Structure 1
Amino acid sequence: MSDETQDTRIDARLLEALVCPITRATLIYEPDTNELVSPTTHLAFPIRSGIPVMLVDEARRIED
C-alpha cells in the first residue's frame, strides 16, 4: 500500500482544530477515503502519511 492510500490514524484534537481553508467551516473525516471533507465547498482534502494536506490545489472535487 502506498503512503498516499495508507490508512493511518489522525489525532482527534488535530481534526477538531482543522477547518476548511476556503470557508473556515468544520470538516468531516471520511475514514473510507482517508480524507477531510468540506460539505459546503464539495472538496475532499487528502490525508497522506497521517498529515492532512489542506491545499485547495490538492483537494478532490466531490460530485453531488
Structure 2
Amino acid sequence: MAEGLNPKLLEILACPRCLARLQYDAQHQRLICRYERLAYPIKNGVPLLLAEKAETLKE
C-alpha cells in the first residue's frame, strides 16, 4: 500500500465523477476508475481526487 495511505481508506474511496470503487495501482502510485477510465495521482500518501488532476487512461 502507498506510504501513508490507510488500507481502510481505500475501501471507502470512490471516483468523484461516477462514485465507483477505485483500484490502487502501486507501481504508478495512483487510484484508477475503470468506468471513467481515469487515474487519480497519490502524492505523499494523499489521493488527489480532483478532476483537474486526473489522467485519462489509454488502455
TM-score, normalised with respect to structure 1: 0.84
The Cα shift of 1:9 comes to: 4.4
Q: What residue ranges of structure 2 are gaps of 5+ in the alignment?
A: none
The Cα shift of 1:8 comes to: 2.4
SS at match of 1:24: coil
Q: What residue ranges of structure 1 are gaps of 5+ in the alignment?
A: 1-6
**Which whole-Å CA distance do the structure 2 matches of 1:57 and 1:13 have between them?**
25
The aligned counterpart of 1:4 is: none
Runs of 4+ in 1 over 6 A off after TM superposition: none
Rg larger in 1 or in 2?
Answer: 1
The aligned counterpart of 1:14 is: 9
TM-score, normalised with respect to structure 2: 0.91
SS at match of 1:44: strand
Note the aligned Cα RMSD (angstroms): 1.1
**Which whole-Å CA distance do the structure 1 matches of 2:8 and 2:29 have between them?**
16
